[in-house]
Amino acid sequence: MRAIGRRIHTNRAVKEILLQSPVFQMAAKQFDEVADFLDLDDRLRERCKWPKRLITVTVPIRMDDGRTEIFFGHRVQHHLTRGAIKGGLRYHPSVDLGEITALALWMTWKCALLNLPFGGGKGGINCDPRTMSQGELERLTRRFTMEMIPFIGPEVDVMAPDMGTNEQTMAWMTDTYSTHSGHLVPSIVTGKPLNLQGSCGRTRATGHGVAFTASNSLHKRGYKVQGAKAIVQGFGNVGSHTAYTLDSYDALVIGVSDVGGAIWNDKGLPMDKLRKHVQKHGTILGFKESEPVDPQEILTRECDILAPCAIDRTITGENAPHLKCKVLAEGANGPTTPEADRIINERGDIFVIPDILCNAGGVTVSYFEWVQNLQHYSWTEREVLGKMEAMLQSAQARVTGFAKKNKLPQRSAAQAIAIETVAEAKSSRGLFP
Ligand code: NAD
């Protein structure tokens, strides 16, 4: 009896931690609404909602000044029903179990929507990578990978870069796991450098997909992407490649922001020069052919494409009534709050490409990278991006078709397709024992 009592108590405690997180509340609300629409059976509903495994580890690191600092790292494996866990690893001061669990749910839906043979998960370490040296980041990554070894593997859980992590992080993870295994295991992560069997096109894949789905959406609404005006929030991996790809389509990227501020050029920011500026200075700020502007205010300036590509919850109940874009292309995960969603749906004049579709180019090419690693055979960038575009286009057509047929907003349609896919797989496998 005591053991059962303790177990119930633990369950409550974990649920309470998750339910107190604003980001998890957002994902849970989205799930509940879609589950109601699908009229999901109660038992299946709970199984689809709650994560299979929540793993939290302490990661002790020797800092450059000789101190030992303890970081908290999480890996949430939301579901494994349709294949290995797939999802990024985030280094950011906002990381907590609730945020990572919400991101894990979104990964599940993204993989299911694209019909990839993966479950969904997410990982993160609460730290500020901008204040840490390369040596500290390397020790943090290697120790976290060691702590994760019992829970990961090419057929179990395959991580990738996300906010605050990059190719180098993935290279350290590959080396740590491979050293432990005694041979190179490239399929343990995706988003690796090309010289460690990364995939052509992976670095730019997410941003390329954001620009591709945004351009498709404009086209379907009778507008041209050539000359279209775009504003991009965030200029890291996703934001910069969204901007570069839009520029390659002859769109005008008139405003971009990063954590330090925003810049503007009515005639379009020259992307080649901005790329060089960012490579040199690590920020968009101080770029000569632009004027500094308020990063919050640019979100509500007139444009054709607004692409939030930074953090979650930047399109809110406050700025949603003032948005003046035709297409909202969600490069970031969870950029639009439920309140903003309600306002945008009521307005009816903005076409939303929901995150699980808009930024799915990244996980799609991660899937290709994993397949190439398992087959020991590499594809050209043209093949990779061509296959990715075909998969995004087909998912986008399914979402718009489902939304039209069921009179649903684009986000609910995308989530409904995904959640139904996962629920059907769980039903087919049945409940063990
Ligand atoms: P990143 O760390 O490379 O870049 C993040 C960028 O956002 C930086 O330019 C940073 O300065 C900026 N930023 C942070 N806070 C900001 C704020 N308040 N206002 C404006 N800019 C701000 O991260 P990333 O990999 O580009 O990821 C960005 C988003 O895209 C995240 O939500 C991530 O989960 C999502 N995402 C990433 C990938 C991927 O392949 N990297 C795939 C799918 C989704």
- Asked whether residue 386 is assigned to any structural domain, the reply reads no
Ligand 1 mean position to 136 CA, how many Å? 21
Predicted pLDDT of residue 10: 58
Strand partners, 261: 258
Among 319, 349, 379, the domain boundary falls at 349
172 and 251 together in one domain? no
- Asked whether residue 379 is assigned to any structural domain, the reply reads no
Ligand 1 mean position to 340 CA, how many Å? 20
Predicted pLDDT of residue 7: 47
Best mutation site among 162, 212, 353 for ligand 1 pocket (most ligand atoms within 8 Å of CB): 162
Predicted pLDDT of residue 359: 98
pLDDT digits (tens, 9 = 90+) for 169-182: 999 999 999 999 99
177 and 83 together in one domain? yes
Q: Pairing mode, if any, of strands 85-92 and 120-126?
A: parallel
CATH code of the domain in which 237 resides: 3.40.50.720
152 and 226 together in one domain? no
Q: Is the bond leading into 154 cis (omega within 30 degrees of zero)?
A: no
Please state, in angstroms and rounded to a whole number, the distance separating the CA atoms of residues 206 and 238: 6
> CA angle, corner 158, sides to 154 and 160, nearest 5?
140
- Asked whether residue 31 is assigned to any structural domain, the reply reads no
Portion of the chain with pLDDT greater than 90, in percent? 96
Q: Which residues contact 110 (CB under 8 A, 6 or more apart)?
A: 120, 355, 356, 357, 359, 360, 363, 418
pLDDT digits (tens, 9 = 90+) for 296-339: 999 999 999 999 999 999 999 999 999 999 999 999 999 999 99
263 and 327 together in one domain? yes
The range of the structural domain enclosing residue 115 comes to 42-183
* Residue having the nearest C-alpha atom to atom 36 of ligand 1: 332
Ligand 1 mean position to 71 CA, how many Å? 21
> Does the global pTM surpass 0.85?
yes
Ligand 1 mean position to 238 CA, how many Å? 6
* Residue having the nearest C-alpha atom to atom 14 of ligand 1: 259
The confidence band for 408, taking pLDDT boundaries of 50, 70 and 90, is very high
Predicted pLDDT of residue 256: 98
For range 115-132, the mean pLDDT? 98
* Residue having the nearest C-alpha atom to atom 30 of ligand 1: 332
300 and 255 together in one domain? yes
CATH code of the domain in which 75 resides: 3.40.50.10860
The confidence band for 4, taking pLDDT boundaries of 50, 70 and 90, is very low
For range 259-266, the mean pLDDT? 97
102 and 239 together in one domain? no
Strand partners, 158: 86
* CA 337 from centroid of its chain's CA atoms: 16
> Does the pLDDT at position 39 exceed 90?
yes
Predicted pLDDT of residue 251: 98
> Does the pLDDT at position 131 exceed 60?
yes
For range 48-76, the mean pLDDT? 98
- Asked whether residue 422 is assigned to any structural domain, the reply reads no
* Residue 148 or 3, more confident: 148
Best mutation site among 258, 299, 388 for ligand 1 pocket (most ligand atoms within 8 Å of CB): 258
173 and 53 together in one domain? yes
In terms of C-beta density within 10 A (0-12 exposed, 13-18 middle, 19 or more buried), how is residue 106 classed? buried
Best mutation site among 259, 274, 367 for ligand 1 pocket (most ligand atoms within 8 Å of CB): 259
Please state, in angstroms and rounded to a whole number, the distance separating the CA atoms of residues 337 and 352: 13
Residues touching ligand 1 (Cβ under 6 Å) are 161-164, 206, 233-239, 257-259, 295, 309-311, 331-333, 359, 362
Q: Which residues contact 170 (CB under 8 A, 6 or more apart)?
A: 159, 160, 161, 189, 190, 191, 192, 193, 196, 198
C-alpha distances in angstroms, 27 versus 35, 281, 346, 405, 410? 12, 36, 20, 24, 16
Predicted pLDDT of residue 1: 37
Among 320, 349, 378, the domain boundary falls at 349
Of 41-50, 214-223, 303-312, 408-417, least confident by mean pLDDT is 41-50
Q: Catalytic site residues?
A: 122
Ligand 1 mean position to 432 CA, how many Å? 39
The number of domains in the chain is 2
Predicted pLDDT of residue 383: 98
> Does the pLDDT at position 291 exceed 70?
yes
> Closest by alpha carbon to 109, among 334, 309, 281?
334
Predicted pLDDT of residue 200: 98
238 and 305 together in one domain? yes
pLDDT digits (tens, 9 = 90+) for 66-78: 999 999 999 999 9
228 and 345 together in one domain? yes
Q: Pairing mode, if any, of strands 351-353 and 291-293?
A: unpaired
173 and 232 together in one domain? no
Q: What is the token pair recorded at 384?
A: 């990779």
At 57, which helix (H) or strand (E)? Answer: strand 53-62
- Asked whether residue 371 is assigned to any structural domain, the reply reads no
Predicted pLDDT of residue 13: 87
Please state, in angstroms and rounded to a whole number, the distance separating the CA atoms of residues 127 and 429: 39
Predicted pLDDT of residue 43: 85
Q: Which residues contact 383 (CB under 8 A, 6 or more apart)?
A: none
The confidence band for 410, taking pLDDT boundaries of 50, 70 and 90, is very high
* Residue having the nearest C-alpha atom to atom 29 of ligand 1: 332
Portion of the chain with pLDDT greater than 70, in percent? 98
pLDDT digits (tens, 9 = 90+) for 23-35: 999 999 999 999 9
- Asked whether residue 418 is assigned to any structural domain, the reply reads no
> Does the pLDDT at position 9 exceed 60?
no
154 and 256 together in one domain? no
Q: What is the token pair recorded at 370?
A: 């994993």
Among 124, 152, 183, the domain boundary falls at 183
161 and 226 together in one domain? no
- Asked whether residue 413 is assigned to any structural domain, the reply reads no
* Residue having the nearest C-alpha atom to atom 23 of ligand 1: 163
Q: What is the DSSP string of 153-198?
A: BTTTEEEEE-TT--HHHHHHHHHHHHHHHTS--GGGBSS--GGGTP
Q: Pairing mode, if any, of strands 53-62 and 252-258?
A: unpaired
- Asked whether residue 132 is assigned to any structural domain, the reply reads yes
